[in-house]
Structure 1
């Protein structure tokens, strides 16, 4: 049934992999854009993570006719005025090894708590009838002095979580899921999806 299908509307292989893992214990059949027959990109012109997530949820939800999950996420570094922020995916190109090295160089001489940063993930669920539901996950950390770890993706190798004494690229998936921005948002998404099934779809959001 289409009501039990969920489109994970992202062109990022890393995000798709994480969402499939995070929602694997739900009864929903998780589809990617290719499986839904969608082959276009959505320009992220919003000035907030939530605005960009909404743009993608609306475009891909209309195109597919399916319950759709879209997100926008990124890294905000306090000492850089919140950059790269909503431009995280496009900032300084596509090479994350280069982007991570550049962030470290921009913080040369900045120590400890002054290297504070946060990962933000805004999520929109769009019902086939157009109703929207929104949540957000956030985790605070520090920009590491050097990249560390080989798991994860994006800025994970330089996102150091003091209480874990490790970057998000150094910890197992299960540990990352408990503390990461996407993991925290997914806890709320999972609860909303299950409530939707129990109450009878669609029940999310408002018209």
Structure 2
């Protein structure tokens, strides 16, 4: 049985404003005030885990311990069939210190070369940690294929080259609400809400 979240304040353990905005929108219906780690001046811990969940837990536990407020961390990335799952947990690192995702997307396409398999998926791990070190973690995925050149101005990260299964538009061409309804983050979030937020007394 997962531990229930009963507070009204949570730290979003991320310095990525796009992620913070998405998570805030997903949390809004539950009357929870979300504060970003950046706003609190929390340091970014070294993400040296070997999976999305391991890295999310590192970030969530670090933020909860320092802030003494429950913390929610996300670790997500793009897994490309033709690249044996890369960039995977290194998706942000492929963008370099300047977070240049245009260069990262170009690298993905270049390394795929002429491989006919354009299949890919986004994976998102969400970890909710309490100041006592307890953690609940969930993982969501959305499958689709990659397109080139980039399309759309909405989204962030690799969104301009990802088309979800059954869709014709990239995530970056969709309104945020449409993307939220089907994204990897929404999948993980549904699991988190069902386990930790619903039926809270």
Taking structure 1 as the reference length, what is the TM-score of the superposition?
A: 0.88
Select 2:7's aligned residue among 3, 10, 24.
3
**Contact residue 121 and residue 142 of structure 2 kept, 8 A:** yes
- Residues 123 and 185, structure 1, Cα contact 8 Å, conserved in 2: yes
Once the two structures are superposed, residues 27-75 of structure 1 have per-residue CA deviations (whole angstroms, 9 ceiling, x without a partner) of: 111111144x333111111111111111111111100111110111100
In 1, the alpha carbon distance for the partners of 2:131 and 2:122 equals 29
Partner Cα separation in structure 2 for residue 194 and residue 48 of structure 1: 25
Matched, 1:75 2:87: no
Q: How many angstroms does 1:196 deviate by?
A: 6.8
Question: What's the RMSD between the two structures over aligned residues?
Answer: 1.6
Structure 2: where are the runs of 5+ without partners?
1-5
Which whole-Å deviations, capped at 9, do the CAs of 1:135-192 have from their partners, x for residues lacking one?
A: 1110111111221111000000011124111111111112111111011112222333
Partner in structure 2 of residue 204 of structure 1:
none
Structure 1 residue runs without a partner (length 5+):
199-207
Q: CA deviation at 1:92?
A: 4.8
User: How many residue pairs align between the two structures?
Assistant: 194
In the aligned structure 1, how far is the partner of 2:58 from the partner of 2:199?
A: 23
Q: Which whole-Å CA distance do the structure 1 matches of 2:118 and 2:7 have between them?
A: 45
Instruction: Select the residue among 82, 91, 100 that pairs with 1:95.
Output: 100
1:33-182 equivalences in 2 (<5 Å): 33-35=37-39, 37-93=40-96, 94-111=99-116, 114-182=117-185
| Aligned equivalent of 1:16 | 20
Aligned residue number for residue 201 of structure 1: none
User: Does residue 26 of structure 1 match 2:47?
Assistant: no
Equivalent pair of 2:57/2:127 in contact (CA under 8 Å): yes
Comparing 180-189 with 134-143, greater Cα deviation is found at: 180-189
Q: CA deviation at 1:12?
A: 0.6
- What is the CA–CA distance in structure 2 between the aligned matches of 1:60 and 1:185, rounded to whole Å? 20
The CA distance in 2 between the partners of 1:41 and 1:173, in whole Å, is: 27
Q: 1:183 to 1:87 in 2, by over 3 A?
A: same
Partners of 2:72 and 2:127 within 8 A in 1:
yes
Q: For 1:98, what is the secondary structure of its paired residue?
A: helix
Distance 1:155 1:148, change over 3 A: same
